[in-house]
Amino acid sequence: MNIADDAFAAGNSAGSSSFRRWVRVMPALLLVAAAAFVAAYYVPLHRAHVLLLEEQRKSNQKSKELEQTLSQVRGELQAKAAQVDKIEAERQQTEAAKKSGLERLEQIKAELAGKLDKHIKKGVAAVAVADGHAFVVLSESAVFLPNTVDVNPQGQGLLCQVSGALSASGGGQAPLRVGAVSGPPDSVPPALQAAYPTAWELSAVRAATVAQALQDKCAVAGARLSAVGHAEHDPAAAALGATKMPPGRVEISVALPAEPRDAK
């Protein structure tokens, strides 16, 4: 073998050895490259994917919480709306009842005025309704004999007419309240001052006398009657308003029956 052949053989041997080394190193290089790829691309992508999943989970949880809050708020709004509707219905019912009650009081007042029209035109009687009561006010001159506490014959008939009208307005057997107003403290007639030195005494006796006449002459049950003297104080003054009546007078009132309620 000559020198050239030896050199060629030596070159082939070296190349084969180098190739074998590359074959052995190549898997390691591929593994390193794969690891580098995983480290450079997959791991960040995986982390980003995990973060997205976590964000999605949080978003879903928040969405559920918002939906629950919205459902709760919607329920509260519906409850408030129902409450507002109930209050409005009650207000309308109250307004309707008030209007109906006022119309009824005006009707009763008109009925009483119609029955006592002649006396009202003479200025010796007046009618009013207030605070659930109907009032008939009579001048003392239309009821009593002058300078006495005795009921005159015309007064007896007037009292019976008044009690009948008020009883009809109050439901038939409603209590009648008799009050007497004597006017200013110094208004007691001289002829009565010895027996009734004060307006309180005079008004109390006149109220009791009218109640007695209603029982004896008008067949009103005594259990339905009450009598009180007001002296110069006048409970019906506000109800009468601008109606002018003499200071000395008799007031007979009846409590009006309550409005019937609709059955529920």
Residue 194 to residue 170: CA distance in whole angstroms: 39
Question: What pLDDT does residue 223 have?
Answer: 94
pLDDT number for residue 178: 95
The torsion of the CA quartet 56, 60, 61, 66, rounded to 10 degrees, works out to 140
Q: Is the pTM of this model over 0.95?
A: no
pLDDT at 145: 93
Q: Report the b/e string of 195-216 with b at 16+ CB within 10 A.
A: ebeebbbbbbbbbbbbbebbbe
Phi and psi dihedrals of 259, rounded to 5? -65, 135
Dump the DSSP string for 193-205.
Answer: HTT--SHHHHHHH
Residue type, 162: V
Please report the pLDDT score of residue 180 as a whole number. Answer: 93
Q: What is the pLDDT of residue 259?
A: 55
Q: 140 and 249 in contact (C-beta within 8 Å)?
A: yes
The token pair that represents 27 in the structure block:
């898997």
Number of separate helices (H) and strands (E) present in the chain = 8, 5
Contacts of 239 (CB under 8 A, 6+ apart): 128, 129, 130, 131, 133, 135
**What's the angle, vertex CA 206, arms to CA 130 and CA 257, rounded to 5?**
30
> Residue 250's closest CA among 163, 121, 186?
163
**Residue-by-residue pLDDT tens, the chain, 264 positions:** 566 555 555 555 655 666 666 667 677 777 777 767 666 666 677 777 778 888 888 888 888 888 888 888 888 888 888 888 888 888 877 676 565 556 777 787 888 888 889 988 988 899 888 878 888 999 999 999 998 999 999 999 999 999 888 888 766 788 899 999 987 767 788 888 899 999 999 999 999 999 999 999 999 999 999 999 998 888 777 777 767 777 888 999 888 776 544 434
pLDDT at 189: 85
Taking alpha carbons only, the member of 144, 153, 142, 160 closest to residue 245 is 142
Cα 117 to chain center, whole Å? 40
DSSP string, 148-168: SSSBPHHHHHHHHHHHHHHHH
Q: What is the CA radius of gyration of the chain?
A: 54
Give yes or no for a contact between 214 and 163, defined as CB atoms under 8 angstroms apart.
Answer: yes
Q: Please, which residues bridge with residue 255 across strands?
A: 133
